[in-house]
Amino acid sequence: MKMEDYQHGNLSLRKFLQVGIECVKAMDAYSTETLAWNFIHKIIALNGTARNTSVINDIDNTASEDFLDDDLACNIIHPLDVLCVILHCSDHFLQQEIFTKMCLCQFAVPLLLPDTNGSSFTFMLWVMRDIVKRWRPESLSESKGFREENLVQIKMQTFSFVRLGQSKLSKSKILNQVLSPAHLNHNWFVHDNMEGGNSTRTVSDGVVEIAWYFPAGNKSSDIFPEPIAVTNLHGNLESNIKQFDFLTQISSAVFIFIETINADQCELLMKYKNESTHFVYCLMRTTKEKLDDNTKKILKTLTSLQNKPTVLVFKKGNTEFSFAKTIQSTLIKLMQDNLNFHSIEDMAGIAPTLGICIDENVKECQDAKVNAKVITDEIVDVVKYKGETMKLQGDSLKELARLEKEMCQMKRQGNVSSENYKSKLINKHATIRKQQYDCELPSGIENFINAIKDKNSVEKQYFLKWIRFYLDLTARKNLSALQAEYKQEYNSASKEILSVLDKKISDSSLGVEHFLRELSQFYEAENFNNKDINKRKFRELPGIAADLLLDGFPLELIDGDASNIPLLWIKDVLTQLDKKTGNKCRIRAITVLGVQSTGKSTLLNAMFGLQFPVANGRCTRGAFMSLLKVEENFQRELGCEFILVIDTEGLKAPELASLDDSYEHDNELATLVVGLSDITLFNMAMENTTEMKETLQIVVHAFLRMKQVGKKPNCQFVHQNVSDVSAHEKNRRDRKRLLEQLNEMTGIAANMEKKYTVTKFSDIMEYDLEKHNWYIPGLWHGVPPMAPVNTGYSNSINDLKKHLIEIMQKGNAVFISDYITWISSLWNAVKHENFIFSFRNSLVAKAYNQLAKKYSELEWKFDKKMLEWLTCTETMIKNQSMNTLEDKVKQCINEAYFILSREEEKMKSALEDFFKKETELVPLIERYREDFFNSVKHHKRKHEMMARSKAEEAMVIQKEKHKIQHLQDSYIEIIETKVSSLLEEYRKKKQQLTEMELNETFDTMWESTISEMHITPLKRYEIEKKMLDILTEDMKNRGASVNQKLQKTKSLPKYERVEKNSWSALAVNAVRWIRGFRTHNVPAKEDIFLNSVLDECSKYVKKQIRQDADYNDTYCRELLKIISNMCEQNDGKGLQLHAEKELDIKLCALGNAAEHFQSMHDKFIRKNDPHHHLAALKPSYLATFISTFQEKDESFNRANRFCERCIKPALADQVNRILGIKIVDDILSKHDSRAFKDRTFFQYTLLSDLIQEKNVQDYIKYTQNYEQCAKTMIQKYIAKTYGNFHSLQFQIVSDAIQRIKEVLTDPEILTCESVRDFLGKFRSKLDEELAFNQGEIKAIVFQTKVPIKEFANNICSSLNKMDEELRSEIEHEDSESVLCKLTIKPEDELFKKVIGCGRQCPFCKVPCEAGATNHEKHFATIHRPQGLGRYRDSETTILVHEICSTDVVSNKSFKNSDTEGKWHPYRDYCTYYPDWAIQPDPSIDASDYWKFVLKEFNEEFAKEYEAKPAEIPDTWHEITEEQAIESLKKTFNMQ
């Protein structure tokens, strides 16, 4: 059997509870090496075939003649040998588990276990300590009472069966018939006719087995009226004298099976003539031959000398069944003599006198027993003991649970303000925690801690077994007395008395979980009151509890008495578990749900070999979790290191049915355990259709909630007590009906949660009628207490287990640390009335932030491509002639559309890849998928409009420039003619002039020519009049009143800006058209809207006037379009933006823009004035005139001028165009740039900076002008990151010069015939990169005949000098002036990435942090007191300190212009703000940051807002800066 490695008893229960590859294999023995393992796995799974020991040989490799070999024919090991070997190799706890499960299967178990050499024996007492029996003796059959005791303590008569000599009949088989009822023949004992039973025993010869009979109180079916024990000695009595001696002392009667008897045997038996034990000789006559005279003589001698022995004769004609009946009758008669009642514990007292050792007499076991007795000896009255020793888990714990839930639901708020009421609850909570903290540690709890502290695993397990044994014993005694009292009082006592008794019965349960629950409360109370970790005396408790979990001990997850999770305790226990397992262990969870008393715990125990505690007198309350380790060789395949199994109390519990909130209680429990599980088993063992519907509704409700928060658990419906093999096929219609009911319940649950798009069960989760339903036979094969476990039950459970393992192999596990977070988030949401609305989970936040960060990265790549396209397009358009301009613009727009489509696909593909990642977090954000994909489409559409608009705008500007250039070219043509004529004149005269004379001559000619040309200056327009005309055209069809007002309007309104704040005189004057009332003395919604419109228009104006271009009417039309769109989007939201109001807004906006556009126009006129332009070109023409006249080589000078006047300005312009993109790209590529990729992190960073600065003006700017505050922070970051931008600027210049040099060496341009052609091709090759001054180029090519290659070389040479000059200029330019000149402002681009949609909370004005641009719901991580958004009481003008994340769960109401001044419940804020998700705070201290800020700067805010200071709740004054910062970290998940 290959068990040598375990011969010292080191095979542990913990090892066999591990989940391994065998879980997905059939439980069959194929070799001798697997016999032991198969037996243990089967017996733990309650499989009745565990004792089958046949070995399947490899037939293919066996020669035909080998089948005649006797050794092969007997290749079977005796089942008792297998059992004995296993017991010798197992530790005490695995032995105990084996014995417990064998008793459930109604198998006899060894009482005396022989050593492997057979020389000594062990009395098996410890291994039977866990077995509890329940029966109904004949005396209680009328009253329907029952008895329940621990098996080792039940005093009963024992009847032993031994064999003397050889026997052809099987004693064990006859015994099985003796103990079996007429309709059932069960094999309690292994016998010859069983598989392997006729094999030779090697290590098990001499073993004494014991089995029991317990009556059910039914006279017609009970074999015996009272319980009896039956022992069976395997082997010949003569070879096992010590065992026989022991049996004669403990037995009421000993049955000796004989066929013949000789003198030696007679002498042996005569030694026991004085024993009180009754002897029964069973003479087995299997032949027709007469009984020999010697046997007759000896039997007469024995019957005369012994204590009236009985002789039973089995004759040849008799059947085994009839002989068994004879033995039954004899046993009943002997029972009436009431001889020798012994318990197993009594027998253990006898065994040592015969040299038999007791299994539990080992030091660790006895020490643990003493420690347990010290605690339990103090317990007389369980209820009284719990009241005195476990004070922390009584009413105080229930009150704590109530307070925690009330903080979330605020049902008893009354007229108290939300934050004051919450502050009051927090104070009560703190008071109770202080009272708990001040409690002295009772001796019982202290002894319990000492018993498990600093002990090894074995010592702790012994102690926990012992204390559970004694606690159950005590609780049973108390419960029995209370039940008897209740029964006595039932018909006469009042309801009040019965209610008190009923409560005592409920409170009479006492288990290890109560001690651990008390420890959890001491731990939590100390943590709450003592912040110094090193001074906490209970700090080691979570580590101890984690060790218990690792040892397989179940730990209470939900306190069933208080309906509460000790969250801090659970989190710290699991954190310690995480540390002890290397911080890298993944976990999966399985739970079972169903109606009470339907075998949920039994199901899990049979499936995984667990032992969930069940309180005496009632079923499981709350929920317990037990940890299963996955074997190392199976971890990769299963994808986790541990499986957490959760057992729960039953739904629809009778003791809770009378409570008003029983449905909500069940709903909370179901939601919690379903949310914590990967797989939920729903137990369907029920007959009542109505009850099933109600239960289904609870479960479906839980699954709906999980669907909405991104959790996708698997559900398996388990139908118990269905034994027919055709059940699956016959119940097809029932499964269809179940689906109909599931659909019906889904609709009901969806309506309750206001999720109207969910109509059927398949909308919630994947459901397969065939694969998700399991039919499990009943547990018992017959009627308990003597019914064995149904083998079909075990097989079906094993099939289900294999299926569950297969499911887990496909999914994704979570790390323990993430599971801790999930528990916290679920529990917080469950405490709120509206789960889906209240659910906030940092894992979801983490996954969402990862998605938002990914989207941000992809968005920048997209934006960068389009910014680069825009830069190239604008440069290219500047280089186009009038003839090619429109075609090139169309080409550029088409290219933009191609880039947009390509980048859109890239972005979508990258997002798809993100969602396809097989990580545990992705399912949590599946519901945001549509938001992000819609954002990609929206982003593309935005860029499409921008691309066309920018290209067409650049074209319009270029056309205007061409008109001016055409005029200027006509003047230049005249100048060039005059210069040429002058040169020709002096050449003919062959007159030599000095350079001064040449200058004077040229000046005279220049001035004369200019005066002759009668140059007309560019026309200056009145921009205001043009804009007013465009406005009239835009609004002329909007009604008579609008036209009448337009006719009266002769000029646009002009307002002076006020520096104090953003409202300005402009907004103040614009408010004249506002109608309506205000319920709070705050800026009305119309004011806010107007301000947002004006800000948007101001941004557009500022952007346009930065361009080196003339004003264009398209600017005015775009402004009007912006206003029209914003009015259209906000109409119907209480603003009533009719045409006259829209006209007023447009007048205000255009009035503000007109002066800026006029300045822009005037600047352009000045810059492009023909006089100014010609004066700028004069030096170039003068230089050409002098050099041509003097016939000098002008190649180098012209090349130098080309670099200085054309390339250098173009390079400088290129730097200004590209540098903004480079800065943004560089920042986003840095490792510390997370703030600009993650809007939530940006908020955290900004708020962290603010609290460090402690400047109230910064906070005011943040709350009143978030955009400006954010941009200031970005500018500071840029300034801090870059002292200057030299490296980026130099790189741009270097790349450009490198590109120019490449073009200059291109053979295509070096073969040009003229400088004009050369520069034309030069420009065309660089038309996407550099925009050259065409006027300067004309001056350079005038009168030039230099060689092309020489000119190109001279340009290259001049480039080096120009490079140095440009670098020098860059080095001497400060960063502020650099940023001012940039076409693309990096702070604007970065701000776009962090501002998101720009929407603010309607109450506190906190900005939205949604990662997708186009999202369904706005949300923010943390909300703030509404007074910071200027809200104040309309009557007292006191700043409002309420926080909307608290108000939304309160019973308070609000009113404003949106509600038309009517009060509206905060809970239903979505009626008016359906696009906002304002979630409750995830913890008590979540808003501490803003509470601290308002508390610190209350007076300053009030002064700034012209209000009275807020009335700060008392608890706010206790918040320190450190707590505020810690709250910020915790809320934003930055710990």
Q: Which residues of 991-1026 are buried (b: 16+ CB within 10 A; e: fewer)?
A: eeeeeeebeebbeebbeebbeeeeeeebeebebbeb
Mean pLDDT of 132-141: 88
**CB 609, CB 50: distance < 8 Å:** no
- Greatest mean pLDDT among 484-488, 894-898, 1061-1065, 1349-1353 lies in 894-898
Q: Token pair for residue 1481?
A: 């705070």
CA angle 783, 135, 463 (to 5 degrees): 115
Q: Which residues in 1194-1338 belong to E strands, given as ranges?
A: none
Kindly state the greatest CA–CA separation across the chain.
175
**Rounded distance, CA 1408 to CA 1418, Å?**
6
Does position 183 have pLDDT exceeding 80, yes or no? Answer: no
How far apart (Å, rounded) are the C-alpha atoms in residues 1164 and 1169?
A: 8
Whether residue 990 has pLDDT greater than 60: yes
Q: What is the pLDDT of residue 652?
A: 65
**pLDDT mean across residues, the chain:** 82
Question: Mean of the pLDDT values across residues 65-87?
Answer: 70
How many other CB atoms are found less than 10 A from the CB of residue 531? 8
Report which of 685, 649, 697, 671 is spatially closest to residue 775, judged by C-alpha positions.
685
Q: Following CA atoms 291, 292, 296, 302 in sequence, which dihedral angle do they give, to the nearest 10 degrees?
A: -110
Which pLDDT tens digit goes with each residue over 1259-1295?
A: 888 887 788 888 888 888 888 888 888 889 999 999 9
Smallest Cα–Cα separation from 560: which of 474, 471, 650?
A: 650
Looking at residue 1272, its pLDDT comes to 85
Please choose, from the candidates 1307, 1280, 1282, the residue with its C-alpha nearest in 3D space to the C-alpha of residue 1219.
Answer: 1282
Report DSSP state, residue 631. P
| Residue 1077 pLDDT grade (very low, low, confident, very high; cuts 50, 70, 90) | very low
Q: Which residues pair with 643 in a beta bridge?
A: 588, 628
Region 866-871: mean pLDDT is 89
Residue 661 pLDDT: 53
Q: What percent of the chain has pLDDT over 70?
A: 87
Q: Looking at residue 524, what is its pLDDT? A: 94
Q: For residue 1151, which of 1054, 1015, 1066, 1045 has the smallest C-alpha distance?
A: 1054
Answer positive or negative: Cα dihedral of 506, 510, 513, 516: positive
pLDDT of 812 reads 80
Q: What is the 3-state secondary structure (H, E, C) of 287-310?
A: CCCCCCHHHHHHHHHHHHHCCCCE
Q: Which two tokens stand for residue 1203?
A: 């670099």
Encoding tokens for residue 1127? 């009015």
Closest CA to 714 of 705, 698, 703, 704: 703
Across residues 1507-1524, what is the average pLDDT? 90
Q: Six-digit token pair at 1511? A: 């009335």
What's the average model confidence in pLDDT over 66-70? 47
How far does Cα 965 stand from its chain's mean position? 65
Mean pLDDT of 1065-1083: 40
Q: What is the pLDDT of residues 533-549, one digit of tens each?
A: 888 889 999 999 999 99
pLDDT at site 723? 60
> Does the pLDDT value for residue 372 go beyond 90?
yes
Looking at 335-344, 381-390, 728-737, which range is the least confident one? Answer: 728-737
Look at residue 1072 and tell me whether its pLDDT is greater than 60.
Answer: no
The reported pLDDT for the residue numbered 828 is: 83
Highest mean pLDDT among 200-209, 228-237, 376-385, 966-975: 228-237
- Residues 928-965: tens digit of each pLDDT: 788 888 888 888 888 888 888 888 888 887 787 777 76
pLDDT interval class at 507 (50, 70, 90): confident
**pLDDT (tens digit per residue) in 581-629:** 988 889 999 998 877 777 788 888 888 888 775 444 445 578 899 999 9
Asked whether residue 477 carries a pLDDT value surpassing 90, the answer given is no
SS (H, E, C) 429-480: HHHHHHHHHHCCCCHHHHHHHHHHCCCCHHHHHHHHHHHHHHHHHHHHHHHH
The SS3 of residue 230 is strand
- The pLDDT confidence band at residue 466, using thresholds 50, 70 and 90, is very high
Residue 559, SS3 per DSSP: strand
For residue 1132, pLDDT over 70 is answered with no
Cβ-defined contacts of 1017-1020 (< 8 Å, 24+):
1017/1165, 1017/1169, 1017/1170, 1017/1171, 1018/964, 1018/1165, 1018/1168, 1018/1169, 1018/1170, 1020/1161, 1020/1162, 1020/1165
Over pLDDT 90: what percentage of the chain? 22
Q: Are the beta carbons of 1181 and 1010 closer than 8 angstroms?
A: no
> How far is it, in rounded angstroms, from Cα 285 to Cα 76?
30
- Dump pLDDT digits (tens) for 1215-1240: 988 999 999 888 888 877 777 877 77
What radius of gyration do the chain's Cα atoms show?
A: 47
